[in-house]
Chain A
Amino acid sequence: MRESAAASAMTGYPAARPELVREDSSGEAITVVEKPLSPFEICYNSGWLRKATILVILAVVWELYARYLNNDLLFPTFTATISAFAQNVADGVLPARAWASIKVLLIGYSLGVLLAAVLTALAIASRIGTDFLETMTSMFNPLPAIALLPLALIWFGLGNGSLVFVLVHSVTWAIALNTHSGFCSVSKTLKMVGKNYGLGGPRFIWQILIPAAFPSILTGLKIGWAFAWRTLIAAELVFGVSSGSGGLGWFIFENKNMLDIPNVFAGLLTVILIGLVVENLIFQTVERRTIQRWGMQN
């Protein structure tokens, strides 16, 4: 071996070696071809279990810290928060407040989605529409919706009208921006395929562009949802009651004034829970059924 290597180094050619042909041998005799994973690995592979573990750990840390602090006015324990939450749910206060918030939210969100759809449709249809959308988003997207609330209160009065107005503002630009950039990044080939079928106008947008840009559209819808939720709670906190009953933000504000801090935490917990439910149930289901199944996201 060494001699031939030395010889090859001298001549510059690789060493001559005999050929090798293996008879077909089944792999099972030599190594594991298929083996079930251990229970731990199976558990670790399920996403909801991993997330649930994180939540449990957070709750435990919360409980321990609050007990160590021992000050219900600053930082109530997890158990105190949960019992306040349970009591408020039981006597129907929290569900009513949450529903009041969600109702306004849904109205504002749907109007925002509609407006975004119109704006992006215009943007695809013409160059001036594109310019309009780009200018509007660059002007208004960075403008916090809450900053418009004082104006809205003057225009629409103390009521749901002004809340809906700021919600529409917070939702529209994020969705329009994402949808438009999604449309722009649809592959040229797919567009040509659609044209090849003789599709044009609204059918082209609906049957080719929207599904092809769906990952971006979904991102836009998620961001819009988060913006809307934030804006709504903030608006209720700052300007309080809207048309009688008041929503979650008002619930938090009220209880802070009464120094009922466990209730404040229960209100915050409700906001978080609704966010978790919408993200993990609604948006993730949509994601799984669409872009994950289509292989647009892994």
Chain B
Amino acid sequence: MASEGPLLEVAGVTLQYKTPQHLITATYRVDFEVFTGDRFILLGPSGCGKSTLQKAVGGYMTPTEGQIRLKGKVVTRPGPDRMMVFQEFDQLLPWKTVRQNVVFALEASGRLTGKAADDKAMHYIEKVNLGAFADSYPHMLSGGMKQRVAIARGMAMEPDILLMDEPFAALDALTRRKMQDELLMLWEETRFTVLFVTHSIPEAIKIGNRILLLSPHPGRVKAELNSVDDPQEARLLEQRIHNMLFSDEVGETMEPVHA
């Protein structure tokens, strides 16, 4: 697979958006490539444009400069080949049950219909251990369960790439750790490609196999690193990334460490 070349190419992408007062450059000439089966992490402090970058990959924004290509085709608009998993819990349609939410995604995008859609939906709902809740409405679920449904929905669509925008950021610490483990287990089983945005260094090292470090204002590539599994090395990597991200700021904006 890897010999086919990159699945997703982001080449010299500059992203700008306008607020009523300003023109803001979110990212400046960012390059990276994602290969099939990658767990590719966009990591950086807030304001580094990582979410904006992912929205652009999702097709919600057009780069002012550069190109985003998926399988060699330029991304111009949102589509089901790039399923998003958002941070917000309200990403499920509240008027549909868990099962209907997944089925609707399959049917609305024209991937599958009828029984086939239903079977596929249930397959992935079982995979995220929500089989017992298939006929519950989203408002009856906890935050972690909602995120699991969103992941099931994203995976059921079998997109070329799954785009996850800090999907665990709004969860409590215990649930977050569990969800990270589950995501890795799912990846072991199905080997999907995921582009994962986070601002947590430990999460990046745990989830990712390749990490793109972005610096803020505007977002530029600072480094592209390989992640490690060994806990000892992971700690060293964490320290290294931490130093890279915060080295320039020591002394000026470094906040006091809370005990």
Seen from chain A, the residues whose Cβ lies within 8 Å of a Cβ on chain B are 187, 189-190, 192-193, 195-199, 203, 207-208, 211-212, 214, 290, 293-296
Residue in chain B with minimal CB distance to A204: B108
9 contacts between A and B (CB under 8 A): A189-B90, A193-B84, A193-B86, A193-B91, A196-B80, A198-B79, A198-B110, A294-B95, A295-B140
CB pair A295–B94 under 8 Å, yes or no, is: yes
Residue in chain B with minimal CB distance to A208: B93
- CB within 8 Å for A296 and B80 given contacts A189-B86, A192-B86, A207-B108: no
What separation, in Å, do the CA atoms of A193 and B78 have in the docked complex? 9
> How near does chain A come to B53, taking the closest CB pair, in angstroms?
15
- CB within 8 Å for A293 and B78 given contacts A189-B86, A193-B93, A198-B108: no
CB pair B80–A198 under 8 Å, yes or no, is: yes
What separation, in Å, do the CA atoms of A196 and B150 have in the docked complex? 13
Seen from chain B, the residues whose Cβ lies within 8 Å of a Cβ on chain A are 58, 60, 77-80, 82-84, 86, 88, 90-91, 93-95, 104-105, 108-110, 137-140
CB pair B84–A196 under 8 Å, yes or no, is: yes
CB pair A214–B95 under 8 Å, yes or no, is: yes
Cβ 8 A contact of B83, one of A189, A196, A203, A293: A196
Contacts of A198 in B (CB 8 A): 78-80, 108-110
> How near does chain A come to B50, taking the closest CB pair, in angstroms?
17
- CB within 8 Å for A211 and B95 given contacts A198-B78, A198-B109: yes
CB pair A197–B86 under 8 Å, yes or no, is: no
> How near does chain B come to A82, taking the closest CB pair, in angstroms?
43
Residue in chain A with minimal CB distance to B59: A195
Cβ 8 A contact of A190, one of B77, B82, B90: B90
Contacts of B91 in A (CB 8 A): 189-190, 193
CB pair A189–B88 under 8 Å, yes or no, is: yes
Contacts of A295 in B (CB 8 A): 94, 137-140
Contacts of A214 in B (CB 8 A): 95
B80, B86, B95, B139: most-surrounded residue (chain A CB, <10 A): B95
CB pair B94–A192 under 8 Å, yes or no, is: no
Cβ 8 A contact of B78, one of A189, A190, A195: A195
> How near does chain A come to B233, taking the closest CB pair, in angstroms?
36
Residue in chain A with minimal CB distance to B141: A295
What separation, in Å, do the CA atoms of A165 and B239 have in the docked complex? 74
> How near does chain A come to B66, taking the closest CB pair, in angstroms?
22
5 closest cross-chain pairs (CB), A and B: A295-B139, A195-B78, A197-B108, A211-B95, A189-B88
> How near does chain B come to A294, taking the closest CB pair, in angstroms?
5
What separation, in Å, do the CA atoms of A134 and B135 have in the docked complex? 40
> How near does chain B come to A44, taking the closest CB pair, in angstroms?
26
CB pair B138–A195 under 8 Å, yes or no, is: no
Contacts of A187 in B (CB 8 A): 88, 90
Residue in chain B with minimal CB distance to A195: B78
CB pair B60–A195 under 8 Å, yes or no, is: yes
B77, B93, B105: most-surrounded residue (chain A CB, <10 A): B93
What separation, in Å, do the CA atoms of A290 and B94 have in the docked complex? 10
> How near does chain A come to B167, taking the closest CB pair, in angstroms?
12
CB pair A197–B105 under 8 Å, yes or no, is: yes
CB pair A196–B90 under 8 Å, yes or no, is: no
Contacts of B79 in A (CB 8 A): 196, 198
> How near does chain B come to A186, taking the closest CB pair, in angstroms?
10
CB pair B80–A197 under 8 Å, yes or no, is: yes
Residue in chain A with minimal CB distance to B87: A189
Residue in chain A with minimal CB distance to B78: A195
What separation, in Å, do the CA atoms of A154 and B109 have in the docked complex? 53
What separation, in Å, do the CA atoms of A293 and B135 have in the docked complex? 12
What separation, in Å, do the CA atoms of A207 and B86 have in the docked complex? 20
What separation, in Å, do the CA atoms of A295 and B94 have in the docked complex? 7
Contacts of A296 in B (CB 8 A): 94-95, 139
Cβ 8 A contact of A211, one of B86, B93, B138: B93
> How near does chain A come to B73, taking the closest CB pair, in angstroms?
15
> How near does chain A come to B115, taking the closest CB pair, in angstroms?
20
Residue in chain B with minimal CB distance to A293: B137
> How near does chain B come to A85, taking the closest CB pair, in angstroms?
41
Contacts of A212 in B (CB 8 A): 93-95
Contacts of B138 in A (CB 8 A): 295
Contacts of B77 in A (CB 8 A): 195
What separation, in Å, do the CA atoms of A189 and B95 have in the docked complex? 15
Contacts of B82 in A (CB 8 A): 196
CB pair B109–A197 under 8 Å, yes or no, is: yes
Contacts of A293 in B (CB 8 A): 137
Contacts of B109 in A (CB 8 A): 197-198
Contacts of A193 in B (CB 8 A): 84, 86, 91, 93
Contacts of B88 in A (CB 8 A): 187, 189
Residue in chain B with minimal CB distance to A188: B88
